[in-house]
Amino acid sequence: MTLLAHLSLWAYTLHGLVWPVMVGWLIATVSRRTMSAALNFAACVLCVVGLRQGFAYRHRVVELEATPVIAALEDFQQTRGRYPEQLSELPPSVWAQLPAANPAYGRWQGAGDVSCYYRAPDTRRKDYGITCVTLMFLKHSYDRERRRWYTWD
């Protein structure tokens, strides 16, 4: 696991503790009106904004890496009238662009140790799915029907 992956894991784990601290500093700033409390509160706000931007950046990288896979899946469906059962049915040129790809198992390893998985269509779902575990339990998935990405836990 890379240093960036470790740092983002700790940042995501600890970011829930930041909100109570921010509220406490806000109360201290309002009640005491001290410069120190105001600076602490501002620093805390900047940390939270930085975390949100970091997660947004990580999700954008995942989306960019998955773009050739999504395009290949759509081309496959256009030419054969169905989506592949396994990613290994896609052309090898798709996998040359992705680090640590293992199409036989329906997964690839993206930047920052992000694991992405493919779910083939079945009797319940007519569309495929792509889900990338971006941080611990946080997942970033592609909804083929709506053609958009969404994050869930």
Query: How many domains does one find in the chain?
Result: 1
Question: pLDDT at residue 37 above 70?
Answer: no
Q: Determine the Cα–Cα distance for residues 104 and 8; give it in Å rounded to an integer.
A: 29
Q: What is the pLDDT of residue 84?
A: 93
Domain that residue 144 falls in: 3-152
Top pLDDT among 129 and 31 is at: 129
CA angle in degrees (0–180, nearest 5) for 46-12-118: 125
Q: Sorting pLDDT into bands at 50, 70 and 90, what band is 94?
A: confident
